[in-house]
């Protein structure tokens, strides 16, 4: 939350959801770079406040985090 009380990107009352969304953003940015969509990757990086040095977690960890996030949306 911003200092004036407004919600900002990445805010979540549940840290696992925030972590999963952050990891998904990083994964999508990485895919964009690998496919040659550098402008899209850069815009996502700015919008999602992704650090330039951020790299996707290992595939298993990322898959588990995204699965938990989606399950939380569906059943939470």
7 belongs to a structural domain: no
CA atoms of 10 and 38, how far apart (whole Å)? 22
Task: Give me the domain span that covers residue 22.
Answer: 15-75
Please report where in the chains the tokens 């895919």 appear, as a residue: 31
**Angstrom distance (rounded) from CA 33 to CA 20:** 20
What band does 37 get if pLDDT is binned at 50, 70 and 90? very high
- Whether 26 is in a domain gets the answer yes
Q: Is residue 52 part of a domain?
A: yes
Residue 57 lies in a domain: yes
Q: pTM value? A: 0.56
- On whether residue 9 sits in a domain, the answer given is no
Asked, for residue 35, whether it belongs to a domain, the answer is yes
User: Tokens in use for 70?
Assistant: 């989606």
For 47-66, how does the pLDDT look when each residue is reduced to its tens digit (9 = 90+)?
Answer: 999 888 888 776 667 677 77
Question: Is residue 4 included in any domain, yes or no?
Answer: no
Q: In total, how many domains does the chain have? A: 1
Does 21 fall in a domain?
A: yes
């Amino acid at each position: 939350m911003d200092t004036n009380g407004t919600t900002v990107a990445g805010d979540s009352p549940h840290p696992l959801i925030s972590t999963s969304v952050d990891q998904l953003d990083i994964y999508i940015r990485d895919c964009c770079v690998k496919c040659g969509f550098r402008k899209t990757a850069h815009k996502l990086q700015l919008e999602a406040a992704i650090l330039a040095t951020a790299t996707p977690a290992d595939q298993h960890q990322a898959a588990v985090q995204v699965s938990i996030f989606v399950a939380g949306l569906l059943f939470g």
